[in-house]
Amino acid sequence: MLEAKYYDVYKIREDFPILKRKVHGKPLIYFDNAATSQKPQRVIEAIYRYYKEYNANIHRGVHKLAEEATEAFEEARDKVAKFINARYREEVIFVRGTTEAINLVSRAWGDYNVKEGEKILITEMEHHSNIVPWFLLSDRKKSKVEFVKITDEGLLDIQDLNEKLDEKVKLVSLAHSSNVLGTINPVKEISKLSHEKNALFLVDGAQSVPHLKVDVQEIDCDFLAFSGHKMLGPTGIGVLYAKREILEKMEPFLGGGDMIKEVHKWGARWKELPWKYEAGTSNIAGAIGLGEAISYLLSIGMDKIREHEKDITSYTLKRMREIENVKIYGPEDANKKCGIVSFNLGDIHPHDLATLLDEEGIAVRAGHHCAQPLMERLNIPATTRASFYLYNTKEEVDVFIETLKKAQKIFLP
């Protein structure tokens, strides 16, 4: 673990105005980062500055404001490309979020490449965003969706993956890190296995890109989807990365303004990449905010953020073992997971527990976390989930643990 002098979490916390807030008279403890992260002041100011100083549409106007807005928007694309180590900036497509990115692949690639009887391979730990688009594709194309099993520890069953990865599989699509278990999947290995069977590989990076160094060239994934709002950026902006040679062969997802080169009565021709996939007015402020969020993350260092989160997660797991009747789901080794701890406390319903935690100012998530197939695999209806980020502290964890002990006394006398 990094020594404290290399990572000043208390200084970092000063950059986040919302962390000064009180909830029910108690200092806010925000442990719902897997749902959405908080925003540093510089991201808020970057968005405000766009609307205050150079609000204009992009790619169309020749006036000064339009030029400034276009430059800032495209600079954000360059930041994303560098952040994930894309080979070409044209491989970065701005979308609303991970969900839209995966749906784009399902429609613009899947509809033209997946045939009746062929398969999409996903896993039991997927978020609904990486399940439902493939069900919809299977309805349209009479293809199949198969689920790779997970182990009792919450790890991917690589043997089952190998057995199901046959010549009928057109795409393997899975989460880099589970939004419930925190499990970090071996995406580089899975990419290699997929390509050996001539299948493409999509990585749902919603829970990994904000927390880990993600290098698309090292992974050799064909697609990567992630959301800005989970990595200090605003809502309504996300990214689809895809290899240029694949994007060039795909059809547009949406049609309209800004994605066309020319339109006539006899037909239309599309713009070159990446704008072929960005119809209409993009979320300009969102892209600018995401670019600023990336600059902030890089100013701290992704390796340092990862080490801090491992430290917080290890500490939380250690302290939770002090509590009787706690059932933790997923790996209990912080090296195998992102900063997520999903659990149940006796037979207390997760919603009741989350309500009690909220009364102490602690924000967690309770429910099935948009992962009902995983809940069925675990044979439970729901969990309580605490998820951490770069601004969380061990002192916050201590308050969390004491509140769990209080809940135990109230609900489990």
Active-site positions read 370
Separation between Cα atoms, residue 201 and residue 195, nearest integer Å: 8
Encoded tokens for 23:
């909830």
Question: How distant is the alpha carbon of residue 341 from its chain centre?
Answer: 16
The residue among 122, 40, 117, 43 whose CA lies nearest residue 286 is 43
Cα dihedral 258, 263, 268, 270 in deg (nearest 10): -30
| Residue 326: strand pairing partners | 345
Encoded tokens for 151:
């182990």
The 3-state DSSP class for residue 60 equals coil
Encoded tokens for 155:
């790890």
The residue among 318, 330, 413, 325 whose CA lies nearest residue 369 is 330
Strands (E), 213-256: 223-227, 238-242
Encoded tokens for 269:
């021709």
Encoded tokens for 135:
């069900």
For residue 27, say if its preceding peptide bond is cis, omega within 30 degrees of 0.
no
DSSP β-ladder status, 119-123 and 260-264: unpaired
Hey, how many other C-beta atoms are within 10 angstroms of the C-beta on 85? 14
Tally DSSP H helices, then E strands, for the chain. 15, 17
SS3 content of the chain, % helix, strand, coil (to 5): 45, 20, 35
DSSP state of 231: T
DSSP state of 373: H
Separation between Cα atoms, residue 272 and residue 254, nearest integer Å: 14
| Phi, psi (degrees; rounded to nearest 5) at 391 | -100, 0
